[in-house]
Structure 1
Amino acid sequence: MANLTYIEKSTIETFLGMKTGYVMDFSDRTFQEFVFEVTGYYIDNEKYHYNSNSKANRLRAFIKIESDYIFGKLLSAFCEYWLSKVHRGEIDYRGEEKTYEECVKISERLKQESIVENIDAIQANSDDKDFNLLAKSIKESIEKNEPEVALDRLHTFVVKYVRQLCVNHNLNYVKDEPINSLFGKYVKHLIASKLIDSIMAEKILRFSINIIDAFNDVRNNKSFAHDNPILNYNESILIFNNISNTIKFIETIETKILKSKDPQEVDWSDLPF
């Protein structure tokens, strides 16, 4: 259930025009498509039917049922949609700027309520369709507050992610090379290229090699990869946070590398976005 104060609910309803039973200028079809594209959830599902089943009432039910993080994503998308219409001159924004800004703040607060920090960092670093579906399924498990059931998929994600890093930096490896060995090569490459500024960050990355090695045991003996008793909830969250925070840091490094290259040297077709 999205954690909203009475004033926040009133601000959101005013911004989205919900008092009329509508949600912005969406039709039933476009409303369903928009919510599904942003969240992966069908707003026409019976669990969201409420009173008159208007778009506004379905959204009210959605807010009551879904998590802070999920509704935060949706509210953020509504704000972006409103801003795009302003830029195209399709709506008169005068008098609504403050309400828009308040909704942006609310959405940012709600998105920070995920049980896993930097969960959005779990995204494929290539355009491989299966890799992207894997990342999406992992995030869906976190959104459902089920980190323990996604540990095997998170391990698969890390393997694919680190292998792609090695490919991107021309670091040779053999097919069955352990994931901790691959990550060790990548960390050594960063250090040799003087892309790490502090000794402490360097030590954290080096220690992460051992953590990734230990992840193999969790995947093989405490996840649904095999017929195992799965790891408990709190330790699963700890593992997810460690992995997502490490990947978030790697993203900043990779972005820094990309920006430092001559534009003519960058193969933009390989970017995963």
Structure 2
Amino acid sequence: MSSLTSRDRRCLEPFLDMGSGLVLNFSDRTMGEFFQEQVGLNIYDEKYQFKGTSKAKRMRAFWELESDHTVARALDALIEWGEEFRCLPDDPQQRAAIEAIIARLKLSSPVPEVDAFTASVNALDFTAAAKHIRAAIEANEPATALDRVHVFMMKFLRTLCERRGIAVTREKPLHSLMGEYVKHLRGSGQIESEMTERILKTSISTLEAMNAVRNDQSLAHDNPMLNHDEAVLIVSHIGGLVRFLKTIEAKTQASQS
């Protein structure tokens, strides 16, 4: 269940215009579609109606039942929806209070970088791996996602290398892809500090070690799983790396447009 306090709810409910049993400008259909698309949940499931059947009461049940991270994802998406349809209050102080609540909820995740695990191209295996990783993290079971993290990184780095004209073959291992990618970043002047370069170079050997974790300590094979704390460390580290590389790529694309 989420850690939302009664004070948090008193901030959220007027912000989302829940006073009359509604939520923003949602109809029954659009609210159902929204929750399915944004958090992969059926808001009309019976488990969300123990407080009542109105949209607002289902939202309150959702806040009570779901994890901090899932609630934060939904709130972020609700803000995007509200901005698109211009149905949010025009109150900077109120907005700041809501964003502070969301930030606090995100910090409670065992892996703060969970949102980094999103597919950057529309490929079924990439999307499925990303979804599995996020679900495992939200369930606080990161060890069950280690093999999917390996799959995700292979697809992610192959995509980055292909964009930069780096040869990609099926046989090229994860750490080799990272090595060639870092070399290209350095050659194109996209790394400003020696420390950043060292961190990225260290990631090459880190990814090489990930092969053993995948083969011997994950669900990829019939193995005993890695302990929880080390799994959190590994997934957090990879998530931070992915987020940084996505930032580099976004800047590159912006400069070329």
When normalised by structure 1's length, the TM-score is 0.87
Percent identical across equivalent pairs? Answer: 41
Indicate the larger mover: 96-105 or 170-179: 96-105
Q: Which amino acid aligns with 1:12?
A: L
In the TM superposition, what are the counterparts of 1:183-222 in structure 2 within 5 Å?
Answer: 183-222=178-217
Letter in 2 for 1:17: D
Question: What does residue 16 of structure 1 align with?
Answer: 16
Q: Higher mean Cα deviation, 208-217 or 110-119?
A: 110-119
- The residue aligned with 1:140 is 135
CA displacement 1:31-72 (0-9 Å, x = unmatched): 211111211111122222213232222211111111111111
Matched residue count: 257
Partner Cα distance (2:79, 2:159) in 1: 34
Q: 1:66 to 1:151 in 2, by over 3 A?
A: same
State yes or no: 1:256 paired with 2:240: no
Partner of 1:239: 234
Q: How big is each residue's C-alpha offset from its partner over 1:136-161, in whole Å with a ceiling of 9 and x where there is no partner?
A: 22112212222111111110111111
Q: Any stretches of 5+ residues in structure 2 without a counterpart?
A: none
Deviations 1:200-230 (A, max 9, x none): 1111111111100010001001111001111
Counterpart of 1:48 in structure 2 is: 48
Query: 2: CA distance between counterparts of 1:41 and 1:92?
Result: 23
Q: Distance in 2 between matches of 1:71 and 1:135?
A: 19
Judge conservation of contact 2:106–2:112 (CA < 8 Å) in 1.
no
Aligned partners of 2:88, 2:123: CA distance in 1, in Å?
41
Supply the AA of the counterpart residue of 1:247: V
List per-residue Cα deviations over 1:110-152 (Å, max 9, x = no partner): 2333221222221223222331232122112212222111111
Larger mean CA deviation between 73-82 and 200-209 belongs to 73-82
Q: Which residue identity lines up with residue 72 of structure 1 in the other structure?
A: A
Distance across 1 between alignment mates of 2:48 and 2:92: 30
What are the Cα deviations for residues 217-262 of structure 1, in whole angstroms up to 9, with x where unaligned? 010011110011111111111000110111111112212222332x
Alignment RMSD (CA, Å): 1.9
| Alignment-derived partner of residue 105 in structure 1 | 100
User: For the residues of structure 1 that align with 2:129 and 2:88, how far apart are their CA atoms?
Assistant: 41
User: Quick one: distance in 2 between partners of 1:93 and 1:123?
Assistant: 30
Distance in 1, matches of 2:183 and 2:53, equals 57
Q: 1: distance between equivalents of 2:168 and 2:93? A: 54
Query: Does the CA-based 8 Å contact 2:48-2:61 persist in structure 1?
Result: yes
214-223 or 160-169: bigger deviation: 160-169
Matching of residue 227 in structure 1 with residue 222 in structure 2: yes
TM-score of the aligned structures, taking structure 2 as reference length:
0.92
Q: CA deviation at 1:9?
A: 1.0
Indicate which of 109, 120, 126 corresponds to 1:114. 109
